[in-house]
Chains A and B, each alone.
Chain A
Amino acid sequence: MRRYSAFAIAREALRFHKGWERAWRSPEPKPRYDVVIVGAGGHGLATAYYLGKNHGITNVAVIEKGWLGGGNTGRNTTIIRSNYLQDPSAAIYEKARSLYETMSQDLNYNVMFSPRGVMMLAQTEHEKRGYLRTAHANALQGVATEFIGPERVKELCPIIETSGPRYPVLGALWQPRGGTARHDAVAWGYARACSDMGMDIIQQCAVTGVRSQDGKVVGVDTTKGPIDCGKLALVVAGHSSALADMAGFRLPIESVSLQAMVSEPIKPCMDVVVMANTVHGYMSQSDKGEMVIGGGTDGFNNYTQRGSFHHIEETVRALVETFPMISRLKMLRQWGGIVDMTGDRSPLLSKTPLGNCFVNCGWGTGGFKAIPGSGWAMAELVARGEPGALAAPFSIDRFREGRFIDESVAAGVAH
């Protein structure tokens, strides 16, 4: 792999950019791999990357039915934060956030991580109390957050209407080292690094069945033929129930559509991420100047990657009240992604009833921020066959044992 650098740009400029190589190979599948990962989203690719980097396992295939990063990884609003309430969440999300800080250097790929700061507005007394509690929890967890008052909110983001009649801003939970990153670049950067380690990323290839013998997985069937494997990792977000069905077990997951949209580009007007959970809207400005806006989830099972129209109106209404200056903005695009919701709104990183088969899913509406931490923990689980400290609390057993990691209370909406 040729490294990207300022020098490389100069070199290529002198020879009409003819020397850039493909970022990753697109090989035909081999008959067998030590590890097969289903799903080339951020979590699947990060799992592959850390399998190679941390555990020296490189006979790995990542199988993707569409194109890599074409699932939720390429559809999200890219908010990165780690201000969760429960300790297991703080541990894995903060691990991920800290890995984002050095990801561009680590992957030699500019993922445009921008720790511009994330504020979650408190617009009711209850929400304020909740965030005060989270700020205290974060202090104990070693996650740098603070509760700030409305004056500071206005100072950090002047375009917010802080004294609205119905939901005045009472303060905010502020994480200065939260922010955003370029979502495609995260997938592409991992894919390039995995391919460089000799791993095969096989796109346009759907897994259609899971083969097992004596209670252990032995391979998968795909639209490009059967592939044998020693271990199997299912990392397919909204499609996890379908893959679990193939593997013969059930999951505590329901898939719904979550929407987002972007506006026409405008001049820089906000340099922080703002989430307004009571009125349900959140917004940041991309480097191109578009306002990136997250919408609502449907209340019913849905695989259409579209989402219900009325959520657009609700989201826009909430944001126009919070940011009156955007009332005349035109929206450019709207889309949906299929998010995998668990009962306690926390993910699953777990062994399964099928031997040597592991799942990583349930990140729901908020897993982009977790990609490197999740890949790190999942690689450990797959390599050793047992979870490490980061993954252990997120096993499937917790639903049977009543050991929930309840984040749905911590954040009405979790992105």
Chain B
Amino acid sequence: MLILTCPYCGVAADETELAPGGEAHLRRAGPAAGEAEFEAYMFHRANPRGVHFERWRHAFGCGKWFHAARCTMTLEVFGTYSAQCTAPPAAIFKAILASRPDWTPTPGQPEPPKPAARARKSAAKPVAKGKAKAKTPTAPAAKPAKADAKGKGDAT
């Protein structure tokens, strides 16, 4: 059973006490946005095999909404944090990277605050990904294969 600690009341709540609220940190498309942006906001989801940022509500507890960072392959919880933030706090990224040193965000997910040394080390990947993320359907020429940094050891 999944257990998340509510950052408001501090209760370690079983999932039966919680209501799932889907992917977190989606940026709402503004009134001037085009169809593609609305489509991405409404329907495209990161759905990663690995680190996932998500919203939960402590429905049968204090009733508050909060955020959690969790691994969808192992159900490991990296931390929970306040709903009053538009991106995960630095401590959450730190916890994620401590446990998953190779982690890079899936398109659509928030980027870690200072990409500094880490991102440069694996520059090839984010570049390929960054281009692929562009809304134009053209993929970069002879795009290098994305290494399978995540998704190792899938249960069958």
Contact = CB atoms under 8 A, between A and B. Distances in A.
| 5 nearest CB pairs, A to B | A209-B145, A248-B132, A353-B137, A252-B43, A241-B47
B47 A253 contact: yes
B15 to A, nearest CB: 6
A23 to B, nearest CB: 21
A212 B143 contact: yes
Most buried by B among A209, A343, A355: A209
A303 B73 contact: yes
Nearest to B46: A241
A118 to B, nearest CB: 30
A305 interface: yes
Contact of A251 (B47, B132, B147, B148): B47
Majority-rule SS of B interface residues: loop
Most buried by B among A214, A254, A309: A254
22 contacts: A209-B144, A210-B145, A212-B143, A218-B142, A241-B47, A242-B49, A248-B131, A248-B140, A250-B44, A251-B47, A253-B45, A254-B47, A299-B20, A304-B72, A304-B155, A343-B43, A354-B137, A354-B139, A399-B39, A399-B42, A400-B35, A400-B36
Size bin of chain B's contact surface: 35 or more
A221 interface: yes
A211 interface: yes
Nearest to B15: A308
A26 interface: no
A215 interface: yes
B148 A208 contact: yes
Interface of B: 1-2, 15-16, 19-20, 22-23, 35-36, 38-40, 42-49, 52, 54, 70, 72-75, 106-108, 131-133, 137-148, 151, 154-156
A215 B42 contact: no
Interface of A: 65-66, 70, 206, 208-215, 218, 221, 239, 241-242, 245-255, 298-306, 308-310, 343, 353-355, 399-401
A298 B133 CA distance: 29
Given A70-B156, A250-B44, A304 B73 contact: yes
Most buried by B among A242, A302, A303: A303
Contacts of A221: 145
Contact of B142 (A66, A208, A213, A248): A213
Contacts of A343: 42-43
Contacts of B147: 208-209
A406 to B, nearest CB: 14
A415 to B, nearest CB: 21
A299 B19 contact: yes
